[in-house]
Structure 1
Amino acid sequence: MAELVGPRIYSCCNCQNQVALHDDVISKAFQGRQGRAFLFSHAMNVEVGPKEDRQLMTGLHTVADIYCQNCHEVLGWKYERAYEESQKYKEGKFILEKSKIMKENW
């Protein structure tokens, strides 16, 4: 009998709260505060903090930190606004730090 396998999911490393689907990964070539990070089109079960302007490696952006809805661990940030035309594709997208998430159903 075949076993059903669900979607590949990323969860919070701290509490295993599901925060993103593998299918929503746009890029794995991003830099977070603590190393590698992934760019996602969507995130779930997260809370979005207040917006702030932040100077990042790719220029000035308006971002909001995102927190695990369950344990309130900072997982990354959401791009609210990009000031440079070449960075506009990031608007509305989410950065999740690789060190803050773990794989499930792989």
Structure 2
Amino acid sequence: MHFRMKVLENSSKHNTPKKQKTFQHYLPAGDRCYSCIHCRANLAAHAELISKSFQGSQGKAYLFNAVVNVGCGPAEERVLLTGLHAVADIYCEICKTTLGWKYEHAFESSQKYKEGKFIIELAHMVKDNGWDEQNDS
């Protein structure tokens, strides 16, 4: 009697990339926040908004102190309206849409306050949770 054995190879030998699970961060219910216009993932709490006076490649943009559900690409030097900066594109971790950029380094001393902050273009976000139609500042 002959038996045939089937040999199973470990999939790691084939260099197949492992898919990582993305865990979505939800900001507290009822708190005013900004979300991705494409997938509605929360991006930033209104309390983290620093300025509405920024310009992105697609129009108006907001500067935030902190964001959630956002990934960051590699930094590169770019000449922006306010001078030379090292910036990294940021994208929604859920739908992978490019949202804006993160200021990694400012070369001019007057622009240092932007370092570590995030720009999200209005074209890619919507207001969510607890916004009063009469008071949307």
Instruction: Give the partner amino acid of 1:12.
Output: C
The C-alpha deviation readout for 1:77-103, integer Å capped at 9, x for no partner, is 000000000000000000000110000
Segments of 5+ residues of structure 1 without an aligned counterpart are: none
The equivalent residue for 1:101 is: 125
Moved over 6 A (4+): none
Q: 1:53 aligns with which of 59, 62, 77?
A: 77
List aligned pairs for 1:5-16, cutoff 5 A.
6-16=30-40
Percent identical pairs in the alignment equals 58
Unaligned runs of 5+ in 2: 1-28, 132-137
Q: CA RMSD in A?
A: 0.8
TM-score (norm 2): 0.73
1:36-51 correspondence to structure 2 within 5 Å: 36-51=60-75
- What letter corresponds to residue 75 of structure 2 in structure 1? K
Count of residues in Structure 1 that have an aligned counterpart in Structure 2 = 102
SS at match of 1:87: helix
